[in-house]
Chains A and B, each alone.
Chain A
Amino acid sequence: MAGEALLELEDLRLDHEKAGVLLDGVSLTVRRGQVLGVVGESGSGKSLTGLSVLGLQPKGRLSGTMTFAGEDLTRFGSRDWRRFRGRRAAMIFQDPMTAFLPVRRIGAQIIEQIRLHKSVSRQEARKQVVSLLTRMGVPAPEQAADRFPHELSGGLRQRAMIAMALSCDPELLIADEPTTALDVTVQAQILTLIREIGAREASVMLITHDMGVVAQSCTDVAVLYAGVVVETGPVTEVLQTPLHPYTQALLRAIPPMDGPRPERLPVIEGVPPSPETRPAGCVFAPRCPQVTSKCAVRPSMRGEGLHRVACVLIA
């Protein structure tokens, strides 16, 4: 089963009534056993991509293809979504406090989630909760289950949220900036956990703005810019030989840890376009140092094998 495509987005577009076209060509594949990093600047559409996969995107016209294990998600009605969410794909967020009700013990909340999708007794669900928390590396899981969300440290809360997300054995875990709010040492632990989940339990879509996180935790990566996926492929290839000028510029902007300190860090001049100013051609054209007249037509994703790029320079 490993390597087989689980989630396939092809040219996904989201046209919001007020805000305009927020996603304008998101193409990516999550294969079984993969941790796919979705990386991009703030506002590039990472969260919206994740939310769309669960049918939780803001109101608007969604087009393009979105297939999950052969099923067409774009045809889902509200009943289909209710059965799908939490059961086959689950999402975790940057702030675990948003996932838990503050006034209820976390164990009770996870039990509820389990019994929503599976017909098991309360006792059986409780057993599953303890075993999940144990697997997530929560010390003293019995006691932890009886805590209120605010009684746990940030790292433990994040583990509890991952436990809740995995409670119904979803095939896909979508993690939206799961470590951004955490201390660096706790971050390392949560990323290790997510990497293990990717290897053993579920495919993972890891949304992050941090290339370091991608390098540490992902097997594959999709680079998002202004609502468009511009490069995707195995992490090693994309980070070692980035082909898209945007990915190249992004990697150059990371401060070096050795050698002389540059007077200025190389930056990408200008700002990402908004939905109103997004060019009809290549979305990166206004900021691209290699722009030519050919870039006036939107390039599609091309490339050999798994490493694919949307740039006219790449035949």
Chain B
Amino acid sequence: MTALLEAKDVVRTYAAGGKGRLRAVDGISLSLAPGETLALVGESGCGKSTLGRLLMGFDRPDRGQILFDGQDMARLSSRALRQTRSQLQMVFQDSASAFNPRWTIGSALAEPFRIHKRPFSRQSVEDLLERVGLSGSFYDRYPAALSGGQRQRLNIARAIALSPRVIVADEPVSALDVSVQAQIINLLRDLQTDMGLASLFISHDLAVVRQISDRIAVMYLGGIVEEGETLSLLAAPAHPYTRALSTPCHSPGKLSVSLCREMCRARFRLLQAVGFIRGAPELSLDAQSSDQSWRKNRVNIA
């Protein structure tokens, strides 16, 4: 099957102080088929969001190509790019800053319809609200009236408003309560079957990833270290990071709590052992220092 969205040997570097460049995305090739959900997992700072932004066309790679429907996004005319934009939507990680506080929720949700000159009605916007688990009565209210979790639902509603073909979702459910999380996961799966919605799903929660994705790509230090069909990858993870993370501890309903605690501790130790948690209290180092050691590893002196 031809890819809907594809990255070909993409590199993105950032200035890293001095003469060095940090290779945030270091030669990644990845493809997303129509209707497919690909999960991107990996530790903080490994480049997931950078890759997501590149695939969205928000950011240009230093090297390599991003293809949408076989076409190089860097070469699209501005009209074709606008057309592409309506088919590619992003769910942002930060829901608080995603909305203009002076717009009602109704007008915020109507905005994508207006920009892309699509028909809509109050009823269709209210339906959209209810689709993400918000009451239609929020239509005339302002984002400030929403709690953090409710705002994130609104964010997702806006992304699906135009029935896009691809959604890039960066940790879209990590801040949501489980019941809403379950609704959103079901919703994304419905959209996938109903309209062939494809998605790149960036997450750290393997239970969520297991439920939602067809394939998983594991990212480490700017590269993809492991990729495969979801259930088989989780059944036999090869990379130590995946192995450590896939130790189950997400089902307090099923596991006994002491067992769950034990698992978490085991997972924690395992992560330590493979060097992924450098900030464990006993080791008295922190994410900051791990960030820096990564920088060192990844900075090429120009």
Contact = CB atoms under 8 A, between A and B. Distances in A.
Contacts of A262: 211
Contact of B183 (A193, A215, A257, A267): A267
Contacts of A42: 147-150, 152, 176-177, 180
B81 interface: no
Interface residues of A, number: 55
Nearest to A265: B182
Given A253-B181, A254-B178, A265-B186, A189 B277 contact: yes
B23 interface: no
Contacts of A153: 286-288, 291
Contacts of A5: none
B179 A268 contact: yes
Quick one: which of A239, A250, A257, A258 has the most chain B CB within 10 A? Answer: A257
A40 interface: yes
A189 B176 contact: no
A180 interface: yes
A40 to B, nearest CB: 7
Contact of B179 (A41, A184, A215): A41
Interface in B91-128: none
B174 to A, nearest CB: 8
Interface stretch (B26-34, B155-163, B221-229, B257-265): B257-265
A249 B179 contact: yes
B43 interface: yes
Contacts of B256: 236, 240
B179 A155 contact: no
Contacts of A184: 44, 204-205, 245
Given A189-B277, A216-B261, A236-B257, A264 B189 contact: yes
Quick one: which of B207, B246, B248 has the most chain A CB within 10 A? Answer: B207
A258 B263 CA distance: 14
21 contacts: A41-B177, A41-B180, A47-B147, A153-B286, A155-B286, A155-B288, A183-B45, A183-B287, A185-B43, A185-B287, A189-B281, A210-B178, A215-B249, A215-B257, A216-B261, A240-B256, A253-B178, A253-B179, A255-B211, A257-B210, A267-B183
Interface of B: 43-45, 130, 133-135, 137, 146-150, 152, 174-183, 185-186, 189, 204-208, 210-211, 231, 245-246, 248-254, 256-258, 260-261, 264, 268, 271, 276-277, 279-281, 284-289, 291
